[in-house]
Amino acid sequence: MSLKNKIINVSAEKIVFPGRSLCRCSDGIVLFSEGLLPGEAADVLVIKEKKTFREALLKNITSKSAERIEPLCPSFGFCGGCSFQNISYESQIKYKQEYISELLNFAGVKISKILISPQIWHYRNKMEFSFFNNKGIADLGLHCKGMFNRYVSVPPCFIADKGFLQVVETVKRFANGNNFSVYNNKTHEGFFRHLVLRKAGNNNQFLINVITNVVDCESVFLEPLIKELSEFSCSIYWTSNGRKSDAVLADRLTLMCGKPFITERLNIGGKDYFFDISPFSFFQTNSKATEILYTEILRLLNPSKYTVLLDLYCGTGAIGISMAHNVKRVIGVECIGQAIDNAKENALANNVFNAEFYASDAEDWIKENKSCFDAVVVDPPRSGLTKDIIKFLLESKAKRIIYVSCNPSTLARDLQLITENSKCKIKEIIPVDMFPQTYHIETVVLLEF
């Protein structure tokens, strides 16, 4: 019997990745919803129906769990940023441990206890805010959950660095005080589009990137806005983006004030390292937890002075550089040219002279380069590894692979592809909580041949 568009009452059995509540209908078919804790019952509206599962929207909780707490943020449930503010941090870790264990139960090794974040509030060192028209007022905010044309106003935001919220208020006040328009995703008109903020968390440096529609904005607003932002120790960029996509892209990127980068300091394995971060380069968003993550990678790698390390998807070179003093040679590969420029500068800043970096898609690089390494670190995007990369790793002479992943689903898929019918075996799995108040989890896996 079809239940689509009907309201039914269900009970949640468990939370599964990506943070969804798994329930079961009276006919035994699995139903996925959001916002329910295990043991809770609720009325839900069925919106999708397939042969093996249904999806539903939460309408009304009829029986609440004792684990449920009041979220700090008034926008929780509407904002797409957080999913776990309604449970304690201890409960967050418990549920993350459960779904990581379930997804990776095929591995045949005990999964380590999650290494927790030293900071669970205001930990994010990067935020992307969107301008929107809020009843005639220029406002800044985050996307509503599942809606890219609706927003919730910021502040407050309890995962963003506290200093970001001061910058947001300054920019909003300036935009409204000077009657600037904000971008409309439907008409593609309006001036202000996004505000991207980054911070070197351990050095208290800000990088401010103001994204506008394509206009001659230098003469229009930048000088007075820079003056207003001068209280912050920062670099200020202007990005002109005339594309219709809502992604933060650059037709033109101009440094208007300060250095072209900010410099983060990380302590990894008892040694300080310094990394330059530019507007579009990848860097982990939780600085304190990153120190834990990279120290764990160093432990698993267990390198020697003879080790040649391939750092695939290397970003600004942070992993490879922090391993470099313990190995013979580091080879870093990254598709973003600006990140590779940062990686080369980062190597010099850290007195690393045994690292080389290449701006190339990983798939293109492996076609031109034979195996000349005996250890590999891969930290791919959320989509995971391609089959060509997996084939390359299996045919390489590497004795050890460290797989760093922010997506347990694609990690599980790739680990099965790597280990089936091969001599490569999973030795350790260590989850690291880089993203408190959300369902996301970072995982580090050691594989050996």
Could you tell me if 11 and 40 are in contact, meaning their C-beta atoms sit under 8 angstroms apart? yes
Name the E strands within 115-200: 126-134, 137-144, 147-153, 192-200
> What are the structure tokens assigned to 20, written together?
């969804």
Task: State how beta strands 308-312 and 329-334 pair.
Answer: parallel
Residue type, 234: C
For residue 49, the cross-strand partners are 54
Q: Which residue has the tokens 């900071």?
A: 119
Q: Token pair of 221, please?
A: 């607003």
Q: Is 112 helix (H, G, I), strand (E, B) or coil?
A: coil
Query: In sequence order, what E strands does 135-177 have?
Result: 137-144, 147-153
Which residues does residue 264 pair with via DSSP β-bridges, in sequence order? Answer: 275
Residues in the chain: 449
379 labelled as ligand-binding? yes
The pair of structure tokens assigned to 286 is 């939780």
> What are the two backbone dihedrals, phi and then psi, of residue 305, each rounded to the nearest 5 degrees?
-70, -5
Q: Which of 25, 79, 82, 406 is catalytic?
A: 406
334 is in an annotated binding site: yes
CA distances from 344 to 183, 287, 336, 337, 338 (A): 37, 21, 13, 11, 10
Active site residue 73: no
Residue 145, φ and ψ in degrees, nearest 5: -60, 120
Tokens of 426: 């999973």
Longest distance between any two alpha carbons in the chain, whole Å: 68
Residue-by-residue DSSP string for 299-363: HHH---TT-EEEEET-TTSHHHHHHHTTSSEEEEEES-HHHHHHHHHHHHHTT--SEEEEES-HH
Residue 237 known to bind ligand: no
Nearest to 259 by CA among 208, 220, 221: 208
Binding residues for S-adenosyl-L-methionine: 284, 313, 334, 379
Catalytic residue positions? 406
Binding residues: 284, 313, 334, 379
